[in-house]
Amino acid sequence: MDRIRIVSLFFFIVLFLTASIKASSLNLMPMPVKIKPQDGRFIISRELGIEIQGPYSPRVLLAKRRFLHRLAGRTGIFFKLNPESTSIKIVYKKNIKLSPIMDESYTLLINQSGIILKANTDIGILRGIETLLQLLSSDGKHYYFPAVEITDYPRFPWRGLLIDVVRHFMPIEVLKRNIDAMAAVKMNVLHLHLSDDQGFRIECKIYPRLHLFASDGDYYTHEQIKDLIRYADLRGIRIVPEFDIPGHTTSWLVAYPSLAAIPRPYKMERTYGVKNSVMDPTNKLVYKFLERFFKEMAKLFPDPYIHIGGDEVNGVQWKSSKKIAKFMKKHHLKDFHQLQAYFNLKVLKILEKNHKKMIGWDEILHPDMPKDIVIQSWRGKKFLYNAAKRGYYTILSNGYYIDLAQPTDFHYLNDPIPEGVELSPEERKRILGGEATMWSEIVSPETIDSRIWPRTAAIAERLWSPGTVKDVSDMYRRLKIITQQMEELGITHIKNQDMMLRRLARYRDITPLKIFIQTVAPVQNYERHKSRTYTVFSPLTRVVDAAVPDPPLPREFESMVADYLSTGDRAIENRIINYLILWKDNHNSLKELIEISPVLKEIEPLSENLSIISALALERISIKERGQTPDPRWIERAKRTLEKAKKPVAELELLVAEPIEKLILSITQ
């Protein structure tokens, strides 16, 4: 009997491990909550048909058409679309209105005979269809969906992307293609930053000077916004508008200077950073103005929330106003934080009158504010947790600032509620999720996709999948596939790089530039602003703009070096040597392009550094092969050269410098 139990247990373990291996090989992002691999597969043929069981839903009908179009695009199969074929069944109970709390759950069952996708809502169907597309596989003979049972639902209800359309205006087609990409990874909120010091980007019929005098002609009409909202709604994505007040308001004051704390003529801001321009919280006419403005915008945007910004009010103009000082004394307002709370409460009443709720950056948090507002935390998690503990709903953006060019794993491991955080169950429920923020000081319509994607897909997984899903290496494995699939949605994050390099090379062979650019990345955080002053008119067409954050090759090379140093594997050594030879020799080829294209001159020192340290690494490997030990003076010269190579040049960092340094300094006999 014991022997039978042991044998049974053995087969159970084998079966479990086999299922785990199958699940771990799936290229899904976000990773579903529960995955149960089954035996078999559903082979895709021309006879494929889809049966829908549920109320009429434009969302589901569009999703069906897009599914078939994308599936045909990937497989090349000419589907007959036979209405009698029901190999895929879509079953749901009801259509719902988009809201911050909505049912997005679904189940997906695939076996040899067919596919059943079930959900309570049409939104759940949209999420399940994206998972089904990601499951598409091939064995060389057939395209198929692997047999699997999936139960899935989001961890957080608010999974957003902020796009700043002010610093650099983003045409509607940019927003639409990014909405499609958001839907592919199950994000559900597009936060549009519509006003700031550098521009006002939406038509205002009641106060037309806002878009006529403060937009440089780049703004969205009401009809464009209505079309965009419909487009997003069909894909299960809400649009939340942000109008930043009382600071970041130069554009408002250019059009209507009487709103200012210091009324005078204002000019459009062309540079970036925190400006002094601010509205006057003591002026009753300001609130009358905002009441009419928000009434118009509340009718245009159906979402229950309007974002008022509220960040970075430095108080310089308030401090210089005797009128404001007198007002503060009369109303017992001890500091500018209380003055801003006074302003926010007035604005809150206006929003509530228009049946809207308020969101703001974490500076708006004040004891006088009611608990039904939402605090968006950008300054740190301590502000997020403080707000949740005080009874406020919150969303996290700190750690998701994708404009800072930080690596994907940094964002991926930034959990809104990590293990060990001291929050009660009720406090945890108040953390609604998070938003990636794409501020646009140094992005253009040509480069914005490469700054948003693919890193935001990892953020989408962090906000959808269970907190236990955090294997970084597996994330990168899956991301490599997902990022390529996004091209079918029109995302330009891959193809635009070659286009930009061709322009930089004056349409010569770009191979040397491609070899170089795979080894570098833009400097992180706000270091680019330290090297030069950027304005709204600055060119964003240099090598640093074509380079992408977190390129895969340096990461893969670093892993290769680590494996080699721990194992001494000769096959890995040969691969490393091939890269080093490529990088050493590339500089001479790149110099030929630099000689005909002055814009490339700034990268010459970095390319030369790459060549030099690659030669050093080859020399170090050769010394090892001869069974020798490098001279201490050689090591010291190598260290100095490596330190130089690690310093940024042309706002670029040579990412392979560190693994090359490890290789040179860690090789043992």
Active-site residue, selected from the candidate residues 149, 312, 556, 604: 312
DSSP for 274-289 reads ----BB-TT-HHHHHH
Read off φ and ψ for residue 555, nearest 5 degrees.
Answer: -65, -45
For residue 109, give the H/E element and its range.
Answer: strand 106-111
Read off φ and ψ for residue 452, nearest 5 degrees.
Answer: -80, -45
Which residues lie across from 195 on neighbouring strands?
200, 243
CA nearest 205: which of 222, 228, 184? 222
Could you tell me the CA-to-CA distances from 177 to 173, 189, 231, 451 in Å, in that order?
A: 6, 14, 10, 14
Instruction: Specify whether the CB–CB gap between 476 and 202 falls below 8 A.
Output: no
The set of residues, in sequence order, having a beta carbon less than 8 Å from that of 578 and lying 6+ positions away, is none
**Angle formed by the axes of helices 552-567 and 570-596, nearest 10°:** 150
The set of residues, in sequence order, having a beta carbon less than 8 Å from that of 647 and lying 6+ positions away, is none
**C-beta atoms surrounding 116 within 10 Å:** 17
Long-range CB pairs of 468-473 (<8 Å, 24+ gap) are: 469/30, 469/31, 470/412, 470/413, 470/415, 472/409, 472/412, 472/413
Q: Is 312 a known active-site residue?
A: yes
- Token look-up 């205006």 returns 169
d(CA 615, CA 624): 14
DSSP for 313-333 reads ---HHHHT-HHHHHHHHHTT-
Which residues lie across from 138 on neighbouring strands?
143
- Token look-up 């919280």 returns 281
d(CA 113, CA 105): 24
Question: What is residue 228's three-state secondary structure?
Answer: helix
For residue 521, give the H/E element and its range.
Answer: strand 520-522
DSSP H helical ranges for 505-569: 511-517, 527-531, 543-546, 552-567
Active-site residues, by number, are: 312
